[in-house]
A and B are shown apart, each in its own frame.
Chain A
Amino acid sequence: MRELRTHLVTRWGTVRAVDGVSFALGEAETLGLVGESGSGKSMTCLSIVRLVPRPAARIVGGEVRVDGEDLLTKSEREMQRVRGRKVAMILQDPMSSLNPVFSVGMQICEPLGLYHGLRGGAAVSRAAELLRSVRIPSPETRLRAFPHQLSGGMRQRVVGAMAIAGPPRLLIADEPTTSLDLTIQAQYLALLKDLQSQHRFAMIFVTHNLGIVAHTCDRVAVMYAGRIVETGPVRRLFRTPAHPYTRALLGSIPRFGARRDTLTAIAGQPPDLATLPPGCAFAPRCPDVMPRCRAEAPPERAIDGEHTTRCWLHVPA
């Protein structure tokens, strides 16, 4: 079992975008990272590959270990060998990961030359093989296509093909299906799971869609204002959510067949990281708030084995 342990604290100006996040992820395991915009999920991912927007963002502490090696102590040169090989990333918008003026083939062949020393015909046939493995029909022809000639789902497959070229030990997928249609999304998720069982990489799946988490992840971490407020195995967390935010989030989602007149809405607005209250960040919106919550941030407590939460409700007095 190779373990990835992340603990990082970045400071974005004076904003703590990621404020002490820890998790471990095993081989072929998938972690769903859930949260609203500004909760720090994307920053967490960017910190892992050390691509946080500089100079505004800085990783100020913690460690990121992949196969035991700490990525935060590596030099920029060493990091370049890690990115795309050991750790690969798939972003939300495939068009921003692809260069519009180069053919798909050239873009897949470039990292193959850099990381694997493949040139010419060998690189081209490996590229075609990668496209075939992401189920793109007639890959040899597609290699000559430019990104704009492909559909959204097809582009995201090309990005997927580049990501698994390593093959990586860790794949970070940041909202990879948000721009895709439903049936194409289902295809893509099935493809990612297939590739994962083939190459046995660990996967961090960033999304705000709890349904996707329920059906594709092994474990889930719920982020709020830069912290993981609850984490645990998917089944346990969805059945018995412990943190009021997780409970409210699950309650606010319309469900098939359970017609209710009103959904349980979460009061208030998502937090502004620049003006976070002292104590628990969710306190102003929390239905179960206690005086203590406004004064002191709750520590992480285990509820049941791997299921942990940060909430005073679960700290014995």
Chain B
Amino acid sequence: MSPPEASATNGAALLEVDGLTKHFVVRRGALGWSTGLVRAVDAISFSVARGTTLGLVGESGCGKTTTSKLILGLERPTAGAIRFEGRNVHALGRAAEREYRRSVQAVFQDPYASLDPRMRVGSIVAEPLVINTNLDAAARRRRVAELLDVVGLPERAATLYPHEFSGGQRQRIAIARALALSPKLIVLDEPVSALDVSIRAQVLNLLTDLQKRLGVTYLFIAHDLAAVAHMSRTIAVMYLGRIVELGDADAVALSPKHPYTRALFAAAMPVELDTPREPITLSGEVPSPLAPPAGCRFHPRCPLALDRCAVEDPAPRIHEGRLVACHLY
């Protein structure tokens, strides 16, 4: 099984995910008997080309965060493979796995929680260098000054504490730390949703600019669909652990095909007043991943469900240059 080529992969893929699956066993009671299985991520496949951005969207519980944890190496997959520069990450030896972790960094949502309040900014940004390199103190200081400059902070920021900065500036510090080891891939998990509206554009522009200058690849996870569409070349839409639609960002955003993607983008409320919007409002809520519905996992909420949707799980198929997992296509 090879990962789908629906994404616009011109160059070699930096990251390939093939049939990636993560199940969590739910244990209850003193004896820890297993009482259920959460299929948080269920056989998803995608690839990200070097120097591009893959946007991952979906509602809470759809498996976005588990996917990012698997890629960051914070969780081990139940099945499937993650290939980085063509090599299976989990078949590597210890040393190579360390090397992989160095190449993959993350920026999280809340810059108030992700920065240690008792450390100076200089030490925060230098920490990955202390752990992973044998640069001496002077070389580390030079690198920190360079990194702060790259993210648009003054050099004297290194001597201050995180509380002396605003939210947008803190997110710049977190980005500087992520860049310290010159990673090839950065996982951006809701990088702007905790920031004020007027500051978001600054940070998004910085990320775009860094990608152009450094050629870094992003996995961009966010609720804000317009921001994802703006940042990404490819968008993957997840629902209950599955990818339901995957394709070119503009195509997915402007003419979504899967009924879930259509409803999601219809709910996004763009600031344009005259954009025709599909009047789809979904009823019901996302079912528990403990007991996902049979057949297509979306069928109980789908306004266009057919009889076969309740029994037969749709396989992803290529339709108009993208992958859609739906019986309608």
Contact = CB atoms under 8 A, between A and B. Distances in A.
Interface of A: 36-37, 151, 153-154, 181-187, 190, 208-212, 214-215, 234-235, 238-239, 248-250, 252-257, 259-266, 269-270, 285
B200 A208 contact: no
B59 A181 contact: yes
Contacts of B265: 256
A189 B328 CA distance: 29
B201 A151 contact: no
Contacts of A269: 166, 168-169, 199
B208 interface: yes
A214 B200 contact: no
Interface stretch (B132-140, B173-181, B281-289): B281-289
A187 B273 contact: no
Given A181-B59, A183-B282, A265 B268 contact: no
B157 interface: no
A181 B225 CA distance: 12
Contacts, number: 122
Contacts of B197: 36, 208, 210, 249, 252-253
A182 B280 CA distance: 12
B286 A256 contact: no
Contacts of A154: 285
B-side interface size class: 35 or more
Nearest to A36: B196
Name the prevailing secondary structure of the B interface residues: helix
B272 interface: yes
A209 B197 CA distance: 8
Nearest to B212: A261
B120 interface: no
B273 A235 contact: yes
B253 A262 contact: no
Given A182-B59, A182-B223, A255 B198 contact: no
7 smallest CB-CB distances across A and B, nearest first, come from A254-B230, A211-B269, A186-B267, A252-B201, A181-B59, A263-B201, A265-B201
A308 to B, nearest CB: 20
B266 interface: yes
B137 to A, nearest CB: 32
Given A211-B269, A257-B250, 4 more contacts: A182-B59, A210-B197, A252-B200, A265-B205
A208 B281 contact: no
Given A182-B268, A270-B198, A261 B285 contact: no
B281 A190 contact: yes
Nearest to B169: A269
Contacts of A210: 197, 271
A264 B282 CA distance: 34
A256 B229 contact: yes
Contact of A153 (B253, B267, B285): B285
Interface of B: 59-60, 166, 168-169, 196-202, 204-205, 208-209, 223-227, 229-231, 250, 253-254, 263-273, 275, 281-283, 285-286
A40 to B, nearest CB: 14
A210 B197 CA distance: 10
26 contacts: A36-B198, A151-B285, A181-B286, A182-B223, A182-B268, A183-B263, A183-B264, A187-B282, A208-B196, A212-B269, A215-B269, A235-B273, A249-B197, A252-B197, A254-B204, A255-B230, A255-B272, A256-B270, A256-B272, A257-B254, A261-B208, A264-B201, A265-B201, A269-B166, A269-B168, A270-B199
A209 B198 contact: no
A212 B168 CA distance: 23
A215 B268 CA distance: 10
A265 B227 CA distance: 14
Contacts of B169: 269
Contact of A270 (B59, B166, B269, B271): B166
Contacts of A238: 271, 273
Contact of A214 (B201, B266, B273): B273
B196 A37 contact: yes
A234 B231 CA distance: 28
B198 A187 contact: no
Contacts of A252: 197-198, 200-201
Nearest to A263: B201
Given A183-B267, A238-B271, A266-B201, A256 B196 contact: no
A190 B269 CA distance: 12
A209 to B, nearest CB: 7
B202 A265 contact: yes
B311 to A, nearest CB: 24
B277 to A, nearest CB: 8
Contacts of B208: 261-262
Which one of B202, B227, B270 has the highest number of Cβ atoms from chain A below 10 Å of its Cβ?
Answer: B270
A213 to B, nearest CB: 8
B33 to A, nearest CB: 23
